[in-house]
Amino acid sequence: MHPAFSVVFFTTATGAGYGLLALLGVLGGFGLIRPDLWLGLIGMVLALGLVAAGLLSSTGHLGRPERAWRAFSQWRSSWLSREGVASVATFVPAALFGIGWVFLGRTGGWVGVAGLLAAIGAVATVCTTGMIYASLKPIAQWHSRFTLPAYLIFSAMTGGVLLNALLQGFGVGMTAVLAGALLATLAGWGWKLATWRYNDRLAIPTTANTATGLAGGTVRSIEWPHTEENYLLKEMGFRIARKHSAKLRRITQALAFAVPIVLLAIVFFLPWPFGAIVSVFAAVAQLTGMLVERWLFFAEAKHTVTLYYGRE
């Protein structure tokens, strides 16, 4: 699949934004993070800003971005439409929570309920995003048990690392948040390795014979149905060399997982402000690595339609 940067940025930014929003909604709404105007304001702006930037970026991949609103009408059958509905609906409790926690300095009560609803909406939206790809049967690398949990794990991981950097920056670091971010990053690394192992061993049952429905003998393409590349080949037939894939996998492991794990472990032993600085570096490294991981997620996927063009 063609890894358009708009979609790569969208899945990375919204995952981190919704992860941070869910954690703020639960921890802030129920008083586990005490109300503070600037901490809350920066946290909410960061979370909702990442979500909004990702959603706006995703329209850049559309042929007619001004018609993006029409996607909301197919929520009964389309995961893409459900994602749009869930993302917009989540802004309502998120705004109420932000008003109560940030500006009124309240926790519990209706603020806690709004925070919990915002967290549920954030998780639901991430699920719909994951299901957009997990539901696509023509792409075997995505249509597996690994795709949806990966979106949830990576959202919790990036959101947790961002929240830790935020708290450390204000000198109110929480050991539980730091440990949770570290464990989530370890879980994300393990899940990514398991996903790569599964995809590398994946035996795709679809062949040119089964795709065309022609039995007997071997179906092969004598010539292309057209003289130039079309939309299908540009979007669905993107190929990446194995050596480049291996190199990018190493970069992903280093930036998204290994470096943040080491830096987060060091933070346990650092006083403020050094712990805050290292925490910010961990967040920046992880988000950079996740951009590479998302690029590979699209680049390594193979669409069945390429069989019609003689590709195995």
| Residue range 29-81, pLDDT digits in tens | 999 999 999 999 999 999 999 999 998 887 766 666 666 666 677 777 888 88
Top pLDDT among 237 and 19 is at 19
Please state, in angstroms and as integers, the Cα–Cα distance from residue 107 to each residue in 46, 99, 118, following that order: 20, 11, 14
- Beta-bridge mates of residue 303: 139
Q: In this predicted structure, what is the pLDDT of residue 214?
A: 72
**pLDDT of the residue at 124:** 96
Q: How high is the pLDDT of residue 170?
A: 94
| Residue 195 pLDDT level (bands cut at 50, 70, 90) | very high
Q: Over 90: is that where the pLDDT of 217 sits? A: no
- Show the CA angle centred on residue 38, arms to residues 34 and 40, nearest 5°: 50
The secondary structure element, H or E, covering residue 183 is helix 175-200
pLDDT at 149: 96
> Is the pLDDT reported for residue 12 higher than 80?
yes
Inform me whether the pLDDT recorded for 277 exceeds 70: yes
pLDDT for 231 beyond 60: no
Name the amino acid, one letter, at 164: N
What does the alpha-carbon distance between residue 215 and residue 202 come to, in Å, rounded to a whole number? 23
Task: Give the integer Cα–Cα distance in Å for 161 and 175.
Answer: 12
**What 3-state class would DSSP assign to 239?**
coil
Residue partners of 274: CB distance under 8 A and separation at least 6: none
The residue that leads in pLDDT, 22 or 173, is: 22
**CATH H-level superfamily of 5-309:** Formate dehydrogenase/DMSO reductase domain (1.20.1630.10)
Give all strands (DSSP E) within 77-125, no chain letters.
none
User: Per the structure block, which two tokens stand in for 259?
Assistant: 């470096």
Using CB atoms within 10 Å of the CB of residue 135, give its burial: 0 to 12 exposed, 13 to 18 middle, 19+ buried: middle
Span 290-305, average pLDDT: 86
In this model, does residue 181 exceed pLDDT 80? yes
Contact 119, 93 (CB under 8 A): no
Q: Would you put residue 155 in left (φ > 0), alpha (ψ -120 to 50) or beta?
A: alpha
CA distances from 100 to 49, 94, 109, 120 (A): 19, 10, 10, 18
Q: Is the pLDDT of residue 239 over 80?
A: no
Domain locations in the chain as residue ranges: 5-309
Residue 297: CB partners within 8 Å, gap ≥ 6? 3, 11
